[in-house]
Amino acid sequence: MTLDGELAKRMYSDMWRIRLFEEEANRQTGLGNVVGTLHLYCGEEAVGVGICAHLRDDDYILGTHRSHGHCLAKGALMDDMMAELFGKETGTCSGKGGSMHVADLSKNILGANGIVAGGIGPATGTAMATKIRGTHQVSVCFFGDGAAARGPFHEGILMGSLWKLPVVYVCENNGYQQWVRRENVAVVDSVATMAASYGIPGVSVDGQNIVEVYEAAEEAIDRARRGEGPTLIEARTYRYFGHSLGDREEYRTREEVDEWRNNRDPINIFRGYMSERQWLTEREDEEIQAAAKEDVAAAVKFADESAYPPLEAAHTDVLDTEWRVDA
């Protein structure tokens, strides 16, 4: 799909919607309205949006503990997501999953995941199911650079490659695994090079440049849909906030964060690209930001006015304990 002005505006708007949703979620956490912790995606928006721009509604995504951006980019409703963060019954998972477990089966969003690399096996399995059914649906699995050090990464990609499954593995390499710098725990710099072990293409892109992400995603998703097997995309990116709430960020300098925020911000980079092509006027830019702001405010109102799940709901959607004891 050629990237034209209209599509670019939609993608630019999606990036703003994610950015503002998360900044507001962070603020709401400070006010005590969000249940549990938060892992913010701010700074990484170009990856989720650039990849999901190519997905059909019936394609699948699986995420990580840092998945608000993936879910919004795939079409989850902001109202439902904010309600989920608030633990309300109108949330995507009836308020029982929270930030780290947002899922929306109606959008084929099979779930964020608190287990590092936890989505890679299910994404590979989903791709196998769609291959057997012959539906030409593609499964995309997002994961961090930390996941590339875990067994499911190697096992999943091996199977995906062996059986030529329609899956795209997207590593968001933000240079950190919690409070640890990647170079202190990895022996190869680029995750993309690891694709060679499994005989699939490995591509490394600048994750702050949505056009680069978009182009790499197009090739990988088309290849998967044609039945030629997986691709491993590594998007080099950066998270602006700490790993999760309460992170004192003693492992990095303020200057490093400012350098990325000021000079490598994905929204600013895309705005520049669009302006150069006269795809975005100042007025349109203002309108896009104002609309995103309104959507976020409406989502907070919706979440705020929704009810908490009733006490009895604690026993639904969970494994039956009697069954578990007897099994």
Ligand X SMILES: Cc1ncc(C[n+]2csc(CCOP(=O)(O)OP(=O)(O)O)c2C)c(N)n1
Binding site for Mg ion (CB under 5 A): 144-145, 174, 176
Report the nearest approach of ligand X to the CB of residue 249 (Å).
13
Nearer to ligand X among residue 14 and residue 172 (C-beta): 172
- Residue ranges of the alpha helices (H) in the chain? 5-30, 45-52, 68-74, 78-86, 120-133, 151-162, 182-185, 210-225, 254-263, 266-276, 282-305, 321-326
Which residues between 131 and 150 bind ligand X (CB under 6 A)?
A: 144-147
- Closest approach, Cβ 180 to Mg ion, in A, equals 9
Helix (H, G, I), strand (E, B) or coil at 171: strand
* Nearest distance in Å: CB 143, ligand X: 6
Separation of alpha carbons 104 and 117, rounded Å: 20
Picking from 126, 107, 120, the residue whose alpha carbon sits closest to that of residue 157 is 120
* Residue among 28 and 174 whose Cβ is closer to Mg ion: 174
Residue nearest to ligand X (CB): 144
Residue 87 binding partner per list Mg ion, ligand X, none, with a CB distance cut-off of 5 to 8 Å that depends on partner kind: none
Shortest Å distance, C-beta 67 to Mg ion: 13
144 forms bridges with which residues in the sheet? 172
Residues 177-216 touching ligand X, rule: CB under 6 A, are 177-178
Which DSSP string corresponds to 175-240? Answer: SEETTEEHHHH-SSS-GGGGGGGGTS-EEEEETT-HHHHHHHHHHHHHHHHTT---EEEEEE---S
Residue (of 128, 25, 31, 33) closest to 71 by Cα position: 25
> Which residue's Cβ lies closest to Mg ion?
144
Read off the DSSP letter of residue 305: H
Query: To the nearest whole angstrom, how small is the minimum distance from the Cβ of residue 262 to ligand X?
Result: 21
Residue of 83, 116, 191, 220 interacting with ligand X (CB under 6 A): 116
Give yes or no for a contact between 179 and 243, defined as CB atoms under 8 angstroms apart.
Answer: yes
Contacts (Cβ under 8 Å, ≥6 apart) of 321: none
- In the complex with ligand X, the residue whose CB is nearer, 92 or 177, is 177
Site for ligand X contains 115 (CB under 6 A) = yes
Give the closest residue to 68 by CA, choosing from 119, 124, 8, 25: 25
**CB–CB of 82/300 below 8 Å?**
yes
CA end-to-end span of the chain: 51
Output the smallest distance, CB 9 to ligand X, in A: 28
Residue 114: contacted member of ligand X, Mg ion, none (CB under 5 to 8 Å, by partner type) = ligand X
Beta carbon nearer to Mg ion, 37 or 289: 37
Residue 116 contacts which entry, ligand X, Mg ion, none (Cβ below 5-8 A, type-dependent): ligand X
**Residue from 17, 54, 65, 223 that binds ligand X (CB under 6 A)?**
65
* Residues binding ligand X: number (CB under 6 A): 16
Instruction: Considering the complex, state which of residue 47 and residue 211 has its C-beta at the smaller distance from ligand X.
Output: 47
Q: Which residues bind ligand X (CB under 6 A)?
A: 64-66, 114-116, 144-147, 172, 174, 176-178, 243
